[in-house]
Structure 1
Amino acid sequence: MANEPVDMIMPMLREIRAEISDMRGEMNQRFEAVEERLDKLESGQKTIRQAMQADTMMSRLVTGEFEDRIFELERKVDALMKGK
């Protein structure tokens, strides 16, 4: 009877080790899936950032063109006022 607990411990430890190994494999798969999802989100954010930058650049160009037109009109009005 003294040998029975010792004989039970080793198989239990082997079972625990196998279960821990399985759990590690599952966790690695889950982490990989999460990392893939995060990579997709990050790439989407990059696309959104690039679109926002392009929109900002376009608005600057359009605003700049209007400012140039207004400046030209002001210059023409000044020239007309001086001519009177």
Structure 2
Amino acid sequence: MIIPLLREMRSEVAALRDHMDARFDVMESAQKSFKHALTADTLMSKLITGEFEERIVALEKKVRDLESQK
């Protein structure tokens, strides 16, 4: 009686392990997707900030040029 019970428990544990592995795979893919979104957002922010800084530098240069002409 004990041996069949242990075999049944072993199969239930294996099924539970498979179920948990599948859930972890889903969580890992969601986490990777979130990380990719954060990376893309950070990259976009850097690009926008860089363009903004380039415009400010160009404007500062124009102001310096105008001030030097006076």
* TM-score normalised to structure 1 length: 0.82
What is the CA–CA distance in structure 2 between the aligned matches of 1:46 and 1:25, rounded to whole Å? 31
Alignment RMSD (CA, Å): 0.4
The answer to whether structure 1 residue 20 and structure 2 residue 6 are counterparts is yes
Matched, 1:41 2:27: yes
For the pair shown, the structure with the greater C-alpha radius of gyration is 1
Q: Matched residues, percent identical?
A: 43
- Flag structure 1 segments of 5+ consecutive residues without an equivalent: 1-14
The equivalent of 2:62 in structure 1 is: 76
1:74 deviates by: 0.1
Alpha-carbon distance in 1 for matches of 2:8, 2:35: 41
Q: Displaced runs of 4+ in structure 1, greater than 3 A? A: none
CA-to-aligned-CA distance 1:21-70 (integer Å, 9 cap, x gap) = 00000010011001100110000000000000000000000000000000
Q: Which residue of 1 aligns with 2:17?
A: 31
2:36 corresponds to: 50
Instruction: Please give the TM-score of this superposition, normalised by the length of structure 2.
Output: 0.98
Report the secondary structure of 1:81's partner residue: helix
